[in-house]
Amino acid sequence: MQAERQTGSEVLQPEDCKIPLDKIEAIAADPQTRRDFEEVFGSRLYPIIFNCLTNETFDVDHARLLWDEVNEHMGYLAQTLGKNPGITFATMDYFANWLSAPGSRKTV
């Protein structure tokens, strides 16, 4: 899994993971909670979320795109499984199975 790397002050450090998993789940589940966190963290919200979930660093635009893709994948999993798998499971499944699938056009 290759991440689009950043340089300088935009690189997130492990201590930048300031959002607990239960809050990340709430951000994924509730649009108002997501807007509230966007107001606090600005454009860094999605890179911070993915750093917390994957320990990888992504630039702002790539992280925002991944957020949309993982949320779409979470909806697919919910339909398939008959229950909400949560954003943490959906992220791991997306990164492990969708991005690495043979013939997949998507790359991290």
Q: How far is CA 102 from CA 9, 72, 97, in A?
A: 35, 20, 9
- Max Cα–Cα distance, the chain, nearest Å: 44
Q: Two tokens at 39?
A: 């107001």
Q: How far is CA 74 from CA 35, 39, 44, 52, 87, in A?
A: 19, 24, 22, 18, 7
Residue 87 has pLDDT above 60, yes or no: yes
Residue 42 has pLDDT above 60, yes or no: yes
Check residue 66 and give its pLDDT.
Answer: 95
pLDDT tier, 16 (very low <50, low <70, confident <90, very high otherwise): low
pTM: 0.76
Instruction: State how far the Cα of 20 lies from the Cα of 35, in Å rounded to an integer.
Output: 17
